[in-house]
Amino acid sequence: MRCLLRAACGLLAVFAAPQLFAANLRDHVEGYRITHESQIVGQLDELTRIRSIAADPAGIAEAADRLQSLLKERGFETKQLSAGNGTPAVVFGSLRSPGARRTVVFYAHYDGQPVTPSEWKSDPFIPAMRSGPLNSGEHDIDLKAARSPFNPEWRLFGRAASDDKASIVAFLGAFDALKASGQKMSVNVKVVWEGEEEAGSPHLAKILRDNQTLLASDLWLIGDAPLHQSRRQMIYFGARGITGVSVTIYGPIKALHDGHYGNWVPNPAVMAATLIAQMRDDEGRILIPGFADHVRPMTPVELEAIRSLPPIEDELIRECGIGRTEGNEQLPSSLMRPALNIRGIRSGQVGAAAANAIPTDAVISIDFRLVPDQTPESVRATVESFLRDKGWTIVADVPDLDTRLAHARIARLEWEPGYPAFRSDLSTPAASAVLAAARKAAQGPVALLPMMGASVPIYLFADIFKVPVIGLPIVNHDNNQHAANENLRLQNLWDGIETYAAMLAALSW
C-alpha cells in the first residue's frame, strides 16, 4: 500500500517548479528574516494587541482597517467585504503578478477565541514573550531590550497570536522578503482574511457567494490550524465537519431531599449518565444505530497517507498525562472517524456545595465531529430518532407543568447549526504543486493529512468555487489555541515565512 502514495507523490513532483525557488532564494528569505526579526515580531505584537474578538466589535473593525492598510501599503487592491449590518468584514486583497497563469487565495482569520482573562498568566491582549512554553522553567523576555537573532524557542503569548494572526504575519513577511530580493511572484495573489471564524463563520457563505467574481481563483490555501505534533510541515486536504447540541434533562420542579424522595423521584443526573453511556462508550465508539450510515470509506491513498504520518503517540501520551487511549488505533486514524465528544455535563452540585438532594435538571453539552458524507441534518435526525426509540420526548422549549406530567423522559434539545466535513483529492495538479513547493521550503518531508480532525468550514470554498482547497498550517501544535495562554513559537513563524515564500514564488502547475 505504501507504494500508492509514493507513486502519487512521485508523479506530482513532475509538475513542481523547483527552479523558481532555488537554494539562493531560500537563503535570501532566511537572510531577510534574520535581519528583520524585530520588525516581524513587532508586527505580530501590534496585531495581537488589537482586541479582535466577537465580544468587541470595535476591536474587530480596528483589525480589519489595519490589515487593509497593511495590504494597501504593499500595493494590493483592497476592499472590506461584509454581509452588512455591522457584521465583521472579510479583508480582501488582490495583486496581479505579470505573467502568472494561476491565482491563489490565501485564507486566514484575524478574529480570536473569547478569553477568560483570569485563566491567563498575563493579559491576553498585551503580548508577552517567554523563553518557552508555560511550566517548562521559562522566563519572561523583555522584547524591547532583546537583540536579534532571537532564540527560536521563544514564544509570544496572546490571544490570536497563533490562531491565526501568525499566519497573516508570515504571509506579509514572506511577501516583504520576496519583494526585497526583487523576486517575481509565480501566481496572482488574493487574500481573504475573515473576521468571524471563531464565531462559526455565520456570514462567510453569503460573502463568498456575493463576491464570486472577485474571489475567482485556481486554489485556496488555508492558513488556519496547527502543524502536526511532530513539528513537521503538514498539508491537509480536508477537515471534519461539526455540529453540537445541548441536552437538558428534567427531574423534579424543585430540588428534593433525596432521603425523603430518592429511589422514587427520577434523578436527572442519572438519566443523563445513562443516556451518555447509551450513546457512546469510554473507548470512543458511538453506539447510536445508523450513525455510521453516511460515512464514506477512506481511499487507499488516504489510508496510506495516514499510515505514513510520523508516530507521535508516545510523546503525546506523556504530554497529556494519560494512562491509556480510547480504542487502540494511532491518533490520526482515530480522527478519521466521526466523534461524539462530551464538552461538559452539569447537574446539582459537587464538592462542599453538594446537598443531599435530587437535582432539578441535568445539562449535557455535546459536539459531534462529522466525516464525509454526514451532514448536520443527518446527524440530528439520527440522534433524535435514537432518543425517541429510548423513550425520550424531545422538546424545544422549557416544558411547562402539563408537559412534564405527561412524559416520562423529557429532553430539551438546542442544536447548533454546524457544517459538513470535507475531504478532497490528494492527487490534483494543484495539490502536487503545493506539496513540491512545501518540500522545498521545509527542506525535508511533509506530512499529508487527508482530513484534519478539527473543523474549519473549508467545504464552503470547494462547494462555491469548485477549485482545490488545501490546508497549509504553520503554527505549533502546543499553542493552546482556544484556551488560555495561547502562544506562538518563533521557529514556527520563521518556518511559516519560508513556506509562504515558496507558495508565492515557487508555485506553478
What minimum distance in Å lies between the beta carbon of 354 and its own copies?
4
Give me the least distance between CB of 252 and its own copies, in Å please.
Answer: 4
Q: Total residues contacting its own copies (rule CB under 8 A)?
A: 94
Residue 395 touches its own copies, criterion: CB under 8 A: no
Residue 143 lies near its own copies (rule: CB under 8 A): no
**Which range touches its own copies (CB under 8 A), out of 21-29, 187-195, 255-263, 427-435?**
255-263
All residues at 6 or more sequence positions from 47 whose CB lies less than 8 Å from its CB, including other chains: 63, 66, 67, 110, 160, 165, 168, 169
Nearer to its own copies, 205 or 273 (CB): 273
Of 264, 289, 293, 389, the one binding its own copies by CB under 8 A: 264
User: Is residue 396 within the footprint of its own copies (CB under 8 A)?
Assistant: no
Check residue 407 for interaction with its own copies (CB under 8 A).
yes
Question: Which listed residue (63, 108, 166, 357) binds its own copies by CB under 8 A?
Answer: 357
CA dist., res. 464 & res. 205, Å (int): 8
**Using the rule CB under 8 A, which residue among 160, 161, 192, 242 binds its own copies?**
242
d(CA 83, CA 140): 42
Pick the closer one to its own copies by CB: 205 or 454: 454
Could you give the C-alpha distances from 29 to 35, 236, 353, 364, 392, in angstroms and in order?
Answer: 10, 25, 59, 50, 62
Cα–Cα–Cα angle for 369, 239, 228, nearest 5°? 105
> Residue 70, interface with its own copies (CB under 8 A)?
no
> CB-side exposure of 209: number of CA atoms within 13 Å?
7
Q: Which is nearer to its own copies, 110 or 392 (CB)?
A: 392
Sole window of 15-23, 142-150, 210-218, 453-461 interacting with its own copies (rule: CB under 8 A)? 453-461
Residues 212-241 that bind its own copies (CB under 8 A): 226, 240
DSSP per-residue string spanning 155-196: EEESTTIIIIIHHHHHHHHHHHHHHHTTPPPSSEEEEEEES-
Which residue in the set 216, 355, 381, 398 belongs to the binding site for its own copies (CB under 8 A)? 355
CB closer to its own copies, 15 vs 261: 261
The three cell numbers locating residue 129: 514573550
Quick check: 294 binds its own copies (CB under 8 A)? no
The answer to the question of residue 265 lying near its own copies (CB under 8 A) is yes
210 lies in the site for its own copies, by CB under 8 A = no
Region from 87-95, 101-109, 341-349, 461-469 binding its own copies, contact rule CB under 8 A: 341-349
Spatial CA neighbour of 440 closest among 104, 6, 20, 100: 20
Cα(144)–Cα(46) distance, integer angstroms:
13
**The one segment of 87-95, 184-192, 280-288, 438-446 that binds its own copies by CB under 8 A:** 280-288
| Site stretch for its own copies (CB under 8 A), options 28-36, 40-48, 61-69, 349-357 | 349-357
Q: Which of 182, 259, 297, 444 binds its own copies (CB under 8 A)?
A: 259
Residue 394: strand, helix, or coil: strand
User: Contact between 244 and its own copies (CB under 8 A)?
Assistant: yes
Element (H, E) at 66: helix 57-73
Query: Taking a C-beta distance cutoff of 8 angstroms, is the pair 281, 414 a contact?
Result: no
The 299-328 contact track toward its own copies, x by CB under 8 A, reads ------------------xxxxxxxxxxx-
Closest of 475, 484, 488 to residue 129, by C-alpha:
488
The phi, psi pair for 113, rounded to 5°, reads -65, 155
Q: Which of residues 459-498 bind its own copies (CB under 8 A)?
A: 477, 480-483
Q: Is 270 in the site for its own copies (CB under 8 A)?
A: yes
Q: Does 254 bind its own copies (CB under 8 A)?
A: yes
Check residue 282 for interaction with its own copies (CB under 8 A).
Answer: yes
**Residue with cell string 462542599:** 352
- The residue within the footprint of its own copies, chosen from 141, 363, 395, 467 (CB under 8 A), is 363
In this structure, the number of other CB atoms found within 10 A of the CB of residue 323 comes to 6
Residue with cell 505504501: 2
Taking the C-alpha atoms of residue 80 and residue 93, their distance in angstroms, rounded to an integer, is: 9
Q: Determine the 3-state secondary structure of 209 from DSSP.
A: helix
Q: Which of 41, 90, 222, 276 binds its own copies (CB under 8 A)?
A: 276
